[in-house]
């Protein structure tokens, strides 16, 4: 006899939209790849030090965004997409709508950011 665990209602809303979320992630990945290519190929010359730091920060953010998107696509492939990596609860569908690469539910994300601000 197989025991089946029923998904929470919010999981059903996410499960029903996985193809749509996958497409959004693929589009984000393609956009980031294009952005990184442009930033790598077109690094301006003659910039002040502060401008160089801003340019490099934008490029690093694009690379980090690509890594987050790739990780979300990997979670989709592994079947664990939409689950908080910290507490295991479903990530709110509204959160995934806005940030499809989210790894944590809102509560756990808040706790992590609060701890970072405190320096813990």
pTM of the model: 0.75
CATH class of the domain whose range is 10-118: mainly alpha
Condensed to tens digits (0 to 9), the pLDDT of residues 45-97 reads: 777 877 888 888 999 999 999 999 999 999 999 999 999 999 999 999 999 98
Question: Residue 30: helix, strand or coil by DSSP?
Answer: helix
The count of residues in the chain is: 120
| pLDDT at res. 17 | 80
Mean pLDDT of the chain: 85
Rounded to the nearest 5 degrees, what angle is found at the Cα of 113, between the Cα atoms of 98 and 118?
165
Residue 11 has pLDDT above 80, yes or no: no
């Amino acid at each position: 006899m197989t025991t089946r665990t029923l998904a929470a209602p919010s999981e059903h809303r996410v499960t029903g939209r996985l193809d749509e979320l996958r497409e959004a992630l693929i589009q984000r990945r393609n956009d980031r790849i294009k952005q990184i290519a442009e930033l790598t190929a077109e690094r301006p010359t003659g910039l002040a030090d502060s401008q160089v730091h801003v340019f490099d920060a934008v490029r690093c953010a694009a690379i980090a965004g690509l890594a987050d998107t790739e990780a979300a696509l990997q979670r989709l492939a592994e079947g664990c997409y939409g689950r908080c990596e910290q507490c295991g609860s479903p990530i709110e569908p509204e959160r995934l709508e806005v940030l499809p690469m989210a790894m944590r539910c809102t509560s756990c994300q808040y706790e992590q950011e609060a701890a970072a601000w405190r320096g813990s």
